[in-house]
Amino acid sequence: MSAANTILSAVPASPSSGIRALARFGFAAKGVVYLLMGLLALLAATGQHGGQTADKKQAVQTLQGVPGGPVLLGLVALGLVGYIIWRFTQALIDTEGKGHDAKGLGRRLGYAGSGLLYASVAWFAAQLAFKGSASSGGNGQQTLTAKVLGWPGGEWIIMAVGLAIIGGGVYQIYRAYSGSFHKHVNASSLPPNQQNIVYRTGQIGYTARGIVMGIIGYFFVQAGRNSRAEAVGTTDEAFDLLASMGPAVLGIVALGLMAYGFYMLVQARYPVLRI
């Protein structure tokens, strides 16, 4: 095959195939981020050198210290942009068939929100890749929370946000044990001896993710109850709370997040994309 034909074969044949490629790249990048977060927390739980509890940005930043770090960071940034595009595609085109009623629109808005959550991480990784440094922007959640707490009824708004996040965490655990999470992976393409392993890995991963979300939601509820923005925390603080319960607790959840990252890599390889 000539070089020209090789290049042409890599060009998406249609907009749909291009979006599919971006989605798969996005799942892979998201998987890498969760693998890094889980690995760092696991090292911290076992007292290993280099271990730390880290949020998504801090986890991504560790790639700076490995060979080819800028390239890896650029790939993660590009992949997360692909994930954002895929989530907005789900929301706007309604690839999941959620409809136009209030419930359906709420779910579709959730897809867009899920994508936007990774926008700051993608920008952070891109800055590290091209400039070698980046500002994490401080704790933006605490700054925003402080502003909302200054509004009339702000405490109730923050508590409502916390309850919604807790609800999201419970939903992740429900998805884990109902098996609904697995509909996004083309399991029939997996070797038969790997299908159950991948399924169980996904269950563990979604459960761990639900636990961390529940803790983050708890932080918001406490911030609202006490009118104290400093009580809000991210994944990093959630890990710290788990660590206070003992290294075994932190280690188990860390392994769970690594399982979620692995499952995202499997989803990147064998996705079900309705477009």
Q: Are residues 181 and 271 in the same domain?
A: no
What pLDDT is recorded for position 137? 62
For residue 271, list its beta bridge partners. 185
How many Cα atoms within 13 Å fall on the side-chain side of residue 157? 12
pLDDT in tens, 197-238: 999 999 999 999 999 999 999 999 999 999 999 999 889 899
pLDDT mean over 64-93: 95
Max distance between CA atoms of the chain, in angstroms, equals 67
Q: Are residues 217 and 268 in the same domain?
A: no
Asked if the structure places residue 8 within a domain, the reply is: no
Q: Are residues 227 and 264 in the same domain?
A: no
CA pair distance 128, 123, nearest whole angstrom: 9
Asked if the structure places residue 241 within a domain, the reply is: no
| Percentage of the residues of the chain whose pLDDT score is greater than 90 | 79
Going by the DSSP 8-state scheme, the letter that residue 271 receives in this structure is B
Q: Are residues 107 and 49 in the same domain?
A: yes
The pair of structure tokens assigned to 118 is 């990774």
Asked if the structure places residue 91 within a domain, the reply is: yes
What pLDDT is recorded for position 72? 96
Q: Are residues 116 and 33 in the same domain?
A: yes
Tokens 């044990």 correspond to what residue? 177
Q: Are residues 33 and 128 in the same domain?
A: yes
Q: Are residues 32 and 125 in the same domain?
A: yes
Q: Are residues 107 and 28 in the same domain?
A: yes
158: domain range?
A: 140-233
pLDDT in tens, 167-193: 999 999 999 999 999 999 999 999 888
CA pair distance 50, 262, nearest whole angstrom: 21
The pair of structure tokens assigned to 192 is 């038969």
Nearest alpha carbon to residue 217 among 254, 170, 173: 170
What pLDDT is recorded for position 125? 95
| pTM exceeds 0.75 | yes
Domains in the chain, number: 2
Q: Are residues 60 and 167 in the same domain?
A: no
At 51, the pLDDT band (50, 70, 90 cuts) reads confident
